[in-house]
Amino acid sequence: MVRVEFLGPIQKEPLELDITNLSQLAVILQKDSELAQWLQNSAVAVNDTLVASLNHVLKNGDKVSLLPPVCGG
């Protein structure tokens, strides 16, 4: 299973999903209308490293994080 966490202002509980790449995650999350805005503007990290491709392979125990727009300071 892959754990999916929603950080900062995305008010959503973590998910546990049986998926093997980020493309599958995109298909699942795009069905959730509440997430539509966040999918367009959030970065994605796998095991706390930012990734730039949907082809990224996921394995059992991986953690995927969604990071919406930031503003520190």
Partner 1 sequence: MLYLYEGALNVPAILKDWYEQESGSNYGAYIPFVGTVRSEDGIDGLSFDIYEPILKSWFRAWQERAKEKGAIIKMAHSRGDVMLHESSYIAAVFSPKRGVALELIDLFVEDFKASAPIWKYDLKEGKRVYALERSTAIQGSGILGVQK
Q: Which residues contact partner 1 (rule: CB under 8 A)?
A: 7-9, 22-23, 25-27, 29-30, 36, 39-45, 48-54, 65-73
Provide φ and ψ at 35, rounded to 5°.
-95, -5
To the nearest whole angstrom, how small is the minimum distance from the Cβ of residue 1 to partner 1? 18
Name the residue nearer to partner 1 (CB basis): 1 or 36: 36
Name the residue nearer to partner 1 (CB basis): 12 or 45: 45
Q: 29-50: buried (b, 16+ CB within 10 Å) or exposed (e) per residue? A: beeeeebeebeeebebbbeeee
